[in-house]
Amino acid sequence: MSPRRSAASRKAPLKNASLRNSAPIFAALGDETRLRLVAVLCAGGAVSIAQLTSGTAITRQAVTKHLHVLADAGLVQHVKVGRERQWQFEPTRLEEARRSLDLIARQWDQALQKLKMAVEA
Amino acid sequence: MSPRRSAASRKAPLKNASLRNSAPIFAALGDETRLRLVAVLCAGGAVSIAQLTSGTAITRQAVTKHLHVLADAGLVQHVKVGRERQWQFEPTRLEEARRSLDLIARQWDQALQKLKMAVEA
DNA sequence: AAAATATGCAACTAAATTATTGCATTTAAC
DNA sequence: GTTAAATGCAATAATTTAGTTGCATATTTT
């Protein structure tokens, strides 16, 4: 294929482990409905499914599924309170995602810096 | 359904527009292969498809498709150089995504703060 | 010009995602 | 103890996604 070395192996750009861990978090956030749910939950406290549903055009079951997607990504948790199931935001994984974006941004800034220095040299 | 007001309308937690704009960016980042591509591109400069492919187990066409997904989200751009098409990172949209996560995190911190003050009062 | 390289385009497949409906179960309220 | 409310579970359907293969086209290189 290519005579040159692979771009992926040439520089070892970011910790692969970090990326592997962050991708599912971004995937969970990559849906408008779920992003809205996260926003609601991080603003309030623990909220029931019925409450979360009443703001949307989709059914309760759809909301439930979205909540499970978020839970699988570790972004929300639930506790059973009486006949309700209350969901709450869990900030740890979101911090991970933030750090990943920060890493990428920093990497980019460094690349620009190097380019600038090379041009000025 | 619920006797209470909807959780979504109760607090107007985050700008809906901001979320609507960020969701597609997160969706684009929500795949390990694409996240790797972004990392490679933000570390190096402009890289051809063949180079980007040689680091992976998938085909050139699959890489091409991923690049187009990233391009649709505004995360990468391409320029034609001879018979190659070189792809490069475009940082603007990533900054948007970072700001969204920062907003959510800040919202969460404020909620904790309020809770704390309410408990101490 | 011929051969090799880099890419584009199209058809197709398999699997995952999103959302629905219908019914069962648990818990609270009257 | 009925009734109403909140939720869970299962089957299904439509759409999207991720990936492949095969072939065509454009550009270098020799």
Walk across the sheet containing B47-48 and list its strands: B47-48, B84-89, B76-81
* Crossing angle (nearest 10°) for helices A60-72 and A32-43: 80
- Is a pLDDT exceeding 90 seen at residue A83? yes
CATH architecture of A17-120: Orthogonal Bundle (1.10)
Q: Which nucleotide is nearest to B53 (CA to C1')?
A: C6
The tens digit of pLDDT for each residue in A26-73 reads: 999 999 999 999 999 998 789 999 999 998 999 999 999 999 999 999
Q: What's the CA–C1' distance between A47 and D4, in Å? A: 21
Of B8, B25, B44, the CB nearest to A55: B8
Confidence class for position B14, pLDDT limits 50, 70, 90: low
- B52:A8 CB<8 A: yes
- A23:B29 CB<8 A: yes
In Å, what is the CA distance from B23 to each residue of A4, A87, B19, B66? 36, 21, 6, 17
Maximum distance among all Cα pairs of chain B, rounded to whole angstroms: 69
> What is the rounded average pLDDT of the residues A101-118?
91
- Is a pLDDT exceeding 50 seen at residue A96? yes
Encoding tokens for residue A53? 């549903």
pLDDT at B89: 97
Measured distance CA(A52)–CA(B60) in Å, rounded? 43
Of B29, B32, B52, nearest to B40 by C-alpha is B52
> What is the rounded average pLDDT of the residues B99-120?
90
Helix (H, G, I), strand (E, B) or coil at B83: coil
Q: Which residues pair with A88 in a beta bridge?
A: A77
Percentage above 70 pLDDT, chain A? 87
Measured distance CA(A28)–CA(B27) in Å, rounded? 8
Of A31, A100, A101, the CB nearest to B27: A31
Measured distance CA(A121)–CA(B7) in Å, rounded? 58
> What is the rounded average pLDDT of the residues B59-71?
98
State whether the beta carbon of B39 lies below 7 angstroms from any atom of strand C.
no
pLDDT at A119: 86
In Å, what is the CA distance from B117 to each residue of B12, B104, B111? 21, 20, 10
Encoding tokens for residue A76? 């929300």
Regarding the domain delimited by B19-120, which CATH topology (the fold level of the hierarchy) does it fall under? Arc Repressor Mutant, subunit A (1.10.10)
pLDDT at A3: 41
pLDDT at B53: 96
- B42:A111 CB<8 A: yes
More confident residue, A18 or B65: B65
Q: For the purposes of burial, counting CB atoms within 10 Å of the CB of B83, is it exposed (0-12), middle (13-18) or buried (19 or more)? A: exposed
Domain residue ranges in chain B: 19-120
Measured distance CA(A105)–CA(B103) in Å, rounded? 17
Q: Which residues pair with B86 in a beta bridge?
A: B48, B79
Q: What's the CA–C1' distance between A72 and D5, in Å? A: 27
Q: What is the mean pLDDT of chain B?
A: 88
Of A20, A35, A104, the CB nearest to B22: A35
Cα A44-A47-A50 angle, rounded to 5 deg:
135
> What is the rounded average pLDDT of the residues A101-119?
90
pLDDT at B4: 43
Among A34-38, A47-51, B42-46, B83-87, the least confident range = B42-46
In Å, what is the CA distance from A84 to each residue of A50, A60, A69, A78, B4? 9, 13, 19, 10, 14
pLDDT at B12: 52
- A39:B107 CB<8 A: yes
pLDDT at A12: 52
Half-sphere exposure of A109 (CA within 13 A, CB side): 8
pLDDT at A15: 64
